[in-house]
Structure 1
Amino acid sequence: MTAFDTKELVTTSERNTLRYNTGFGEVALRDDRLLSFPSGLLGLPICTVFGLSRMPQSDESPLLLLQSVNDPSITFLSADPSVLGLRYSDEDRKKAIKEVGFNPKDTQMLVILTLYQDGEAGYLTANMRAPILIDSAQRVGRQHVLSNKDYSTQQKI
């Protein structure tokens, strides 16, 4: 499987752009590239519209920002797990896509990342247990809890 292709999902144009100041810098989201999350995210059912953005001032970073449009104070660091050296089994991936009802050809998976500070050093963890699935053709996303308990909610990267 190849890395997540963000060309169609990540915003780049200035036309009809929403701007947000995040803890990572300013992000611009084109309104025709927003993603609908009908059920919201776990614990955030009212956040139903998000945009994906590259990290500000870093087009080369594999990390993405998942920005809530409903609540501008909510921004998640995210990434395609494969660019982080993480992987889902084909069986678990297929099962998750089937359970959310997406077309496998149009579905991408992202993981939400958490940055921890441990003294002067920091580290990232990935929530592998509840990935974000995005149907790029329909521009719909869902966070899905996998039934396989072998995946951690805090997989150290």
Structure 2
Amino acid sequence: MPLAQGDQAPDFTLPGSGGETLALAALRGRKAVLYFYPKDDTSGCTLEAQGFNALLAAFAAADATVLGISPDPVKSHDRFRDKYGLAFPLASDETKAMLAAYGVWVEKSMYGKTYMGVERTTMLLDRDGRIARIWPKVKVPGHAEAVLEAARALP
């Protein structure tokens, strides 16, 4: 059953860039933007990360934390953050258990071949860890701005 608006976000604890441990419990009391992306340092994922990074001060002013999540290993995240000067944490889910719990580890198709991968998705969580909004199958241009607007509107 896919997650829906109003659902409690599934709990997670993941290793993060810079040696951090990132957990849902640590986000409680603030709004949180969880954005799921397929792969570090690819064109769409880089543009998406840069979009969130450019608006980081505005997200902080809206009392919202931004967290990027992909199946890439922590070392890849560290290189990605350093290369683009990303100032928010990136979580690594190499087991894909958290990605599956959030419904973003899905069967995809390209050139007639099917494979498993991350469906680019963003979820905005309220201060209690409930899903306030879901953006499935994200198109990158203008996305970070739309998420910021929703975060500002959330009490």
Which of the pair is proportionally richer in helix? 2
RCO higher in structure (CA 8 A, sep ≥6):
2
Which of the pair is proportionally richer in strand? 1
